[in-house]
């Protein structure tokens, strides 16, 4: 046999099994080897198709072994390329932190007037001051309370802004904080006073948890990865949100709201939910909600905290 003849692919009576890639051909050859089936791997010089050649009497058993292997490993993907925006952390979250710091400084400068007219008072809300559900999100009892929420929120919203856009993160976070205060209004023993951005921060954590559902756009079989992401986010909420000394009801309400809204955006086709116009619109709505509620508080609010010496929840 000369050199030219030795380079020719195996000829009949060998049987052919086609593979989609070199990696798949290598994997299948290992499967066949584990079953005692000899296989020769070859790439067609013209088409580039990878093939395995086996003895004709082993062809049926080889195909059956490969079929079982594929069924057993269906849906598993040890490595997956995730689609993310251009940044992993958005430093716009610093602006949110500075706004909280500025409001707390102004509140102290005017003798806690903002707290009196903007904190979540169950009695004031019952009188019709619904805007307190939102204004209370930007108020804090003391520097320690502010520092804890700002530090945690910087990380949470830095990631959420990078994933969803700054506008969407702020709008959903503000709605989640409002929903958390509404949950406290419904379920807390009355009367009570509530304030703080922790419900909003938990809403940001809920957003990051719900965003795992975007994997459905890559593969409808990514259920294991989605469940893992949801479970991880829930465990983080248990770790940071269920401190008995904090307002657990507001935390839970914020987390659930952020989870649902974040999941809803994650299920929107990727090209739609990342449009700059939609993100700017969401940011504008968040700014309008913030400004309108505080305007109502300043113009129409009454000094609930000055009139009632009630325990505060945050």
Element (H, E) at 312: strand 312-313
**Between residues 152 and 301, which one has the greater pLDDT?**
152
Q: What is the pLDDT of residue 246?
A: 87
Active-site hit among 122, 138, 198, 313: 198
Region 145-153: what's the mean pLDDT?
Answer: 96
Question: SS3 breakdown of the chain: % helix, strand, coil, rounded to 5?
Answer: 65, 5, 30
pLDDT tens digits, 112-128: 999 999 999 988 999 99
Q: How confident is the model at residue 308 (pLDDT cuts 50, 70, 90)?
A: very low
Q: What is the pLDDT of residue 1?
A: 47
**Does the domain at residues 10-72 carry the CATH identifier 3.30.70.1530?**
yes
Instruction: Write the Ramachandran bin of 81: left for phi over 0, alpha for psi from -120 to 50, otherwise beta.
Output: beta
Supply the pTM of this predicted model: 0.72
pLDDT tens digits, 210-221: 988 877 766 666
Q: What architecture is the 93-304 domain classified under in CATH?
A: Up-down Bundle (1.20)
Verify whether residue 198 is a known catalytic residue.
yes
| Number of CB atoms found within 10 A of residue 257's CB | 26
Q: For the chain, what is the mean pLDDT?
A: 86
Instruction: Write the Ramachandran bin of 194: left for phi over 0, alpha for psi from -120 to 50, otherwise beta.
Output: beta
Q: How confident is the model at residue 3 (pLDDT cuts 50, 70, 90)?
A: very low
Is 151's pLDDT higher than 70? yes
Which residues lie across from 42 on neighbouring strands?
51
Domain boundary assignment for the chain: 10-72, 93-304
Active-site hit among 90, 104, 188, 251: 251
pLDDT tens digits, 76-103: 444 555 555 555 889 999 999 999 999 9
Region 267-286: what's the mean pLDDT?
Answer: 81
pLDDT tens digits, 181-207: 999 999 988 888 899 999 999 999 999
């Amino acid at each position: 046999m000369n050199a030219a003849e030795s380079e020719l692919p195996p000829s009949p009576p060998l049987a052919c099994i086609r593979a989609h890639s070199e990696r798949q051909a290598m994997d299948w050859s290992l499967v066949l080897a584990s079953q005692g089936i000899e296989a020769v791997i070859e790439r067609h010089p013209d088409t580039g198709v990878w093939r395995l050649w086996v003895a004709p009497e082993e062809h049926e058993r080889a195909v059956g072994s490969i079929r079982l292997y594929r069924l057993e490993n269906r849906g598993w993907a040890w490595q997956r390329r995730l689609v993310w925006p251009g940044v992993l952390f958005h430093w716009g979250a610093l602006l949110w932190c500075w706004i909280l710091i500025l409001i707390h400084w102004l509140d102290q400068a005017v003798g806690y007037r903002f707290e009196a007219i903007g904190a979540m008072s169950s009695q004031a809300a019952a009188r019709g001051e619904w805007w307190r559900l939102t204004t209370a999100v930007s108020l804090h009892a003391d520097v320690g309370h502010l520092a804890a929420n700002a530090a945690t929120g910087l990380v949470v919203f830095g990631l959420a802004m990078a994933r969803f856009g700054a506008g969407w993160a702020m709008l959903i976070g503000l709605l989640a904080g409002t929903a958390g205060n509404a949950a406290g209004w419904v379920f807390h023993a009355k009367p009570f006073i509530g304030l703080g951005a922790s419900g909003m921060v938990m809403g940001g954590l809920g957003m990051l948890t719900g965003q795992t559902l975007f994997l459905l756009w890559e593969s409808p079989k990514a259920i294991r990865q989605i469940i893992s992401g949801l479970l991880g986010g829930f465990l983080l909420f248990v770790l940071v949100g269920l401190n008995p000394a904090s307002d657990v009801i507001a935390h839970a309400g914020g987390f659930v709201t952020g989870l649902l809204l974040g999941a809803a955006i994650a299920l929107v086709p990727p090209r739609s939910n990342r449009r700059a116009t939609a993100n700017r619109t969401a940011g504008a709505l968040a700014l309008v909600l913030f400004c309108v509620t505080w305007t109502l508080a300043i113009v129409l609010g009454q000094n609930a905290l000055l009139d009632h010496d009630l325990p505060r929840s945050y």
